[in-house]
Structure 1
Amino acid sequence: MLLEGFSSFLSLLYLAMLAIAVVAFVVAMTAREDAYRAADKQTKTFWLIILGVTIAVNLLVPMLFLQLAGLVASIVFMVDVRPALRHVSGGRRGGSSSDGPYGPYNGGR
């Protein structure tokens, strides 16, 4: 009975690792190529290959070591590369309605 519970826990863990890799791959695919260069990160092709291999390993190769290496790559992308791409692309800055193209408009003060 204990082994069945542990087995279902591992299945959920594998599913979570796969979900993180798929989300990271989709985010990497939708970002512009020039944003990677502007953020001074690796190329878009590099990240698509790394994250694609991670998805393939999670689906096809049940080796925990390789899956954990892919998880690390996915986390690095989501925590380091994704925020840099968002910053460079100007996504969701939370500006006000009085912001102009070069910053906030203060009425000539």
Structure 2
Amino acid sequence: MELALWILTIIWIAGIPVGVFAFVHAAVQRADAFTAVDKLNKLAWLAITAVAALVLIFATLGPFTIIWIAGLIASLVYIVDVRPKLKEVQGRSW
């Protein structure tokens, strides 16, 4: 069981910059780009990624594990699904 705890801890620590990156990226994008790629609007993605980043930063392992996993998944959905489409529409490199 100790190995599982170490793995979860590593994923949690690695997830913190992922959540912060997702929020910062959503914050600097144009609002019309979100509707152009047929996704939720900018305010919705800002709220989702902000809550996800806060959860990843402040939730601890134990009873809150499922909450930070949900935060990590929300951040990863933004990075894997929304970010590439925004890059395609705006022509930005990052």
- What TM-score does the superposition give when structure 1 sets the normalisation length? 0.72
d(CA) in 2 for partners of 1:6, 1:41: 36
d(CA) in 1 for partners of 2:89, 2:5: 43
Q: Flag the 1:65–1:7 CA change in 2: closer, same or farther, 3 A.
A: closer
* Residues 10-89 of structure 1 mapped to structure 2, 5 A cutoff: 10-62=8-60, 63-89=64-90
Partner amino acid, structure 2, of 1:32: R
**In proportion to residue count, which structure has more helix?**
2
Map Cα deviations across residues 51-102 of structure 1 (whole Å, 9 max, x no partner): 111111122222110111111111111111001101111224xxxxxxxxxx
What runs of 5+ residues in structure 1 fail to find an aligned partner?
93-109
Partner amino acid, structure 2, of 1:64: T
Tell me by how many angstroms 1:7 deviates.
5.0
Percent identity (aligned): 37
d(CA) in 2 for partners of 1:44, 1:60: 24
Q: Flag the 1:6–1:68 CA change in 2: closer, same or farther, 3 A.
A: closer
Tell me by how many angstroms 1:10 deviates.
3.5
Aligned residues: 90
